């Protein structure tokens, strides 16, 4: 998946797949930061294109809230939790 993102960094499907795979791997693989990077990238695309489906927005924001909660970044976790809650 890393190679796929390298070859096509703006591909939403590839980014979403890598992000979802990264958060599901055990912590010993140290993929949480990759997941945050991908979900943040997707969130920036959502801001540029408000017509993105509600389910994708909710997935991105909910996962970012959970990831930031695990990183003890309450401000960012709350921000994304609020965005997910508005959908």
Q: Domain residue spans in the chain?
A: 2-85
* Res. 87 pLDDT band, cuts 50 70 90: confident
Mean pLDDT of all residues in 49-58: 91
For the question of whether the overall pTM of this predicted structure is more than 0.85, the answer is yes
Res 80: pLDDT: 97
| Architecture category of domain 2-85 in CATH | Alpha Horseshoe (1.25)
> Could you tell me the end-to-end alpha-carbon distance of the chain, in angstroms, rounded to an integer?
29
Percent of the chain with pLDDT over 90: 89
CA distance 42 to 85: 18
| Cα–Cα distance, 36 to 82 (Å, whole number) | 17
């Amino acid at each position: 998946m890393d190679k796929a993102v390298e070859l096509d960094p703006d591909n939403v499907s590839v980014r979403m797949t890598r992000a979802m795979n990264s958060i599901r791997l055990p912590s010993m693989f140290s993929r949480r930061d990759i997941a945050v990077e991908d979900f943040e990238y997707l969130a920036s695309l959502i801001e540029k294109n408000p017509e993105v489906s509600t389910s994708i927005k909710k997935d991105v924001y909910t996962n970012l809230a959970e990831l930031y909660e695990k990183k003890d970044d309450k401000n960012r976790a709350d921000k994304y939790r609020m965005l997910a809650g508005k959908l």
